[in-house]
Structure 1
Amino acid sequence: MKITKESVKHNEGYRLHILPSKKYKTISIVAKFKRPLLREKITERALLPHVLQKATNNHPNIRTLQSAFENLYGTALSSDGSKKGENHVLSFRMEVVNETYLKDNEPILEEAFKLLHEVLFDPKTVGQGFDPEIVQREKQTLEQKITSIKDDKMSYANLRLMDHMCKDEPYSLHVHGYLEDFSSITAESLYDYYKTMIENDMLDVYVIGDVDVSHIEELTDRTFKREKNRRNEDNDQKSLHKEIEKVKEITEAEDVNQGKLHIGYRTNTLFGDEDYYALQVFNGIFGGFPSSKLFLNVREKHSLAYYAASRFESHKGLLLVFSGIDPKDFKQAKEIILDQMEAMKKGDFSEEQVEETKHQVINQLQETMDNANGLIEILYHQMLSGAEMPADKLINHIREVTKQDVIDMANKVELDTIYFLTSEKGGE
């Protein structure tokens, strides 16, 4: 989606995406490291962004590093890890004030790139590893984060749904890692993994804002240039179609006040497929908006759910339904949710609903594109799928979706797993 004229350049060891735009007052820089999801290294990979952001060899503690960022007019750096289909992506995001709006014309952007280079390519080391104190502290923080997921019952139920639904598939791996791995992670072993990431991950760099393309090319080359090798060009892992032999139904008991009924479907459609646009509209009618069938029938009409909604994972081909219910209402809530899917397959919705939902999908898309990081995420999705296109063409594809397209999409969707987290065994 070349919203502005996106410049894409295959540089030494990374791909550079520049989006010159006068729309934004700041300049956003995002570096994305991608490699296939692997169980044996996922906890180390989840830990890395936390360690990298704490110190560099030039700024050897969190206080001096934060001060360096603050001195660049409050430049902010954030990071996270996410799953894109069967791939594990680490994103580092920096937002920098545009120096053209400053009175003294300081080289803020150049200094920001230098600082980002330090964080990513020159982190603080002690001997043959990271600083052991930083690693130990960040291990404790990540352990607490993993443990706290169980306290957020909606997130925990979704995690357990993926455990069962995608068992033996890389997508089932926990993006924050596993508690049992921490005892074997040392400052040295983590640094060894970091070096393989820097050398071998596919790296995409996005810069968006009111910038000069040639200046950005020069700055990024100084910052991100790596030795080019085959592995950092071709390490993708594609999601494969999975046959459903039998629908799984799992009930697990925890100390919960509100039952969590989560249902997983296979859409058999990925980002970039021709019917992806129909999937967007289908999801909007089914459970994506407050006007959806799930919201109106499960929550409003029958008062069976505290919430009921759906979303889809576009690089894995999953559709996930979330609902919070009274445990005694399990059977009725499940039946009504499954009925809404059958209604979609039969075309039990109006042309007006299709048009209204298309309008909502387009509005949502435009809102996302108005945000620099949202725009970068859309572009990255498209690049991963090999389905890049201008914004107007993408919106036209959504506008062209018909009621029959939505029905056809619904009939591709297959029920895979029903997961119920409850305080009562069986949810009776």
Structure 2
Amino acid sequence: MNQKIADGVDLNILQTNQFKTIRLTVQLIAPVTTAGLTRRSLLASVLGASSQNYRDQVAIANQLQAMYGAGFNMNAYRQGNLAIFSISMRIVSPQYLKDTVDLQEQAIAFIGQLLLHPDVIDNQFNPVIFKREKENLVRYIESVADDKQAYAATELRQLYFQDTTQQMPTYGDVTDLATITPVELYAYYQSMIANDYVQITFVGNINEAKTLTDLAHLSFAPRAVVLPQIFYQQPLYNKIQTKTEVQNVQQGKLNMAYQISAYFYQEDYYATLVMNALFGGTPLSLLFTNVREKASLAYYASSAIDAFRGVITVQTGIESRQKERVLTIIEAQRQRIIAGDFEQAVFEQTKLALINQFKSSLDSAAYLSQQQFNQSFVPETEIDAEQFAQAVLAVSKQAVQEQAAKMQLQAIYFLKGVDTDEA
């Protein structure tokens, strides 16, 4: 069931008896901006820490426990050109409760309390809560530099993307964070609540008529929303962007970004999905078996596809002195796919692995909820397991070869150990 609650406010209900729980998700969606990423990240912490009715984490935890151990999560993330602020809850489905408590209404009211009735004093967020959550976020952002794999991924993103909103991590920027005040964040929050496109999603055994009544606890005013297309498309660089950084690390990090032409469930998507799985996306992949296992040139080697931004990234952990050999052998694996130099058995096993992964994901209410979001912006994602399997199995060897040939190396980031020989 899909229904417009108000202008710019939509309700999606996926009716299913598949789960013993109900998942409720509220998403506020806006065009991604650098300032917005930082503020939405901080808002997820501030709004999730207290409200008018729940003054601290203890009160929130007690309420969740009273709702039969309900699960709750609030976060902010980016999907292509869109910034999403998401609140989700997981509650026991009513038919499994012995008493007659209205758990769904309680859950919707709980979300409404945290989202729409924040802990505000004198037209600003509670300064004590704000200060604590801001300091926590600063510490988290600073800690990323200690996780060298995450750090290298961040540096590659900044090197590859031309748009600053795509360069920035989802959690925001520590320099920008330092400038945000409780007054300014509250003003941003008010604008978000008033202007963002709102999508409310329920997954589970839902009483649809009752849900419409319960949603009175989540009253959003009508809004006129103009959103960009979800896919971010970047012009090609004339030459490969490179950056080498030296730190006192035991294991070098060599990360690469390839631009691709296929986007999420658009033309050539399935062929690109299979190609990436063959290249480095599964334990059967050429990067895993040949770079990591046979050549022993990497502690880890894999590739990942971001089909909302048209990029495949390669992540490796290596001995820094092996950098040039690793670059050469990674390119050799891509050339092998272009030439069709891979076993038919591996090709078929890779397809089956993708199909099984998709089928497994359908057992997750969280995935199905995200799929509802995806369908709002990419209608082609409305497929079932059988349709997905048929599309993957139909991918030809030639199609995979063509997509590998279309990969264009655009950026190389190298984090080099300080005490190693020159690579």
TM-score over 0.5 for the alignment? yes
Matching of residues 60-99 of structure 1 within 5 Å: 60-99=55-94
Contact 1:270 1:317 in 2 (8 A): yes
Give a deviation string over 1:109-160, Cα, whole Å, max 9, x none.
1111101111111111101011111110000110011000000000000000
Aligned counterpart, 1:4: none
Bigger Cα displacement from structure 2, 201-210 vs 169-178: 169-178
Amino acid at match of 1:270: Y
| Distance (whole Å) between structure 1 residues aligned to residue 422 and residue 46 of structure 2 | 43
Shift of 1:355: 1.5
Q: Supply the distance in 2 between the matched residues of 1:397 and 1:380 (Cα, whole angstroms).
A: 22
2:287 to 274, 288, 294: 294
Alpha-carbon separation, structure 1, partners of 2:75 and 2:415: 28
Tell me what 1:229 maps to.
223
Tell me by how many angstroms 1:237 deviates: 5.3
State the secondary structure of the residue aligned to 1:73. Answer: coil
Question: How far apart are residue 427 of structure 1 and its match?
Answer: 4.5
Structure 1 position 125 matched with structure 2 position 142: no
Which region of structure 1 is more displaced relative to structure 2, 233-242 or 62-71? Answer: 233-242
Q: Which position in structure 2 is the counterpart of 1:164? A: 159
CA distance in 2, matches of 1:54, 1:119: 9
Match of 1:381 in 2: 374
1:277 aligns with 2:267: no
* Residues 1:191 and 2:186 are matched in the alignment: yes
CA distance in 1, matches of 2:95, 2:114: 25
Mapped partners of 1:339, 1:52: distance in 2: 49
Which residue does the alignment assign to 1:46? 41
Q: Distance in 1 between matches of 2:48 and 2:31?
A: 23
Instruction: Report what 2:18 is aligned to.
Output: 23
Does structure 1 retain, via aligned residues, the 8 Å contact 2:301–2:314? yes
State the SS of the aligned residue for 1:55: coil
- Contact 1:271–1:382 under 8 Å retained in 2: no
Corresponding residue for 2:232?
239
Q: Displacement of 1:236 after TM fit?
A: 4.8
Is contact 2:73–2:87 with CA below 8 Å preserved after alignment?
Answer: yes
**TM-score, reference length from structure 1:** 0.94
Match of 1:317 among 298, 310, 326: 310
> Which residue pairs with 1:3 in the alignment?
none
Do the aligned partners of 1:150 and 1:156 also contact (CA within 8 Å) in 2?
Answer: yes
- The CA deviation at 1:341 is 1.2
Aligned-pair distance for 1:393? 2.0
- For residue 249 of structure 1, what is the aligned residue in structure 2? 242
Question: Is residue 271–residue 381 contact of structure 1 (8 Å, CA) maintained in 2?
Answer: no
Hey, what does 1:423 align to over in structure 2?
417
In structure 1, distance between residues paired with 2:140 and 2:20: 34
Equivalent position amino acid for 1:39 in 2: T
Runs (4+) of structure 1 exceeding 3 A deviation are 233-238, 424-427
Secondary structure of the equivalent of 1:245?
coil
How far apart, CA to CA, are the structure 2 residues paired with 1:8 and 1:245? 45
Q: Secondary structure of the equivalent of 1:315? A: coil
Partner Cα separation in structure 1 for residue 2 and residue 142 of structure 2: 41
Deviates more, 1:307-316 or 1:71-80: 71-80
2:374 matched to 1:342? no
Q: Which moved more, 1:47-56 or 1:173-182?
A: 173-182
Is this contact kept in 2: 1:272–1:382, CA < 8 A?
A: no
The TM-score with structure 2 as length reference comes to 0.95
Q: Does 1:394 align with 2:388?
A: yes
CA distance in 2, matches of 1:237, 1:209: 27
* One of 397, 403, 413 as aligned partner of 2:407: 413
- Greater mean deviation of Cα atoms: 187-196 or 350-359: 350-359
- 1:426/1:116 Cα in 2 relative to 1: closer, same or farther (>3 Å)? farther
- Partners of 1:287 and 1:309 within 8 A in 2: yes
- For 2:49, give the aligned amino acid: K
2:2: which partner in 1? 8
Q: CA-to-partner distance for each residue in 1:35-91, whole Å, 9 max, x for gaps? A: 122123322121001111111112222222221121111112112222211222222
Deviation for aligned residue 1:234: 3.3
Q: CA RMSD in A?
A: 1.6
Q: Judge conservation of contact 2:12–2:372 (CA < 8 Å) in 1.
A: no
| 252-261 or 33-42: bigger deviation | 33-42
Residue deviations 1:209-263, cap 9 Å, x none?
Answer: 111222223323x1333222222x5355541242231112221112211000101
Give secondary structure in 2 for the equivalent of 1:370.
Answer: coil
Shift of residue 106 of structure 1?
A: 0.9
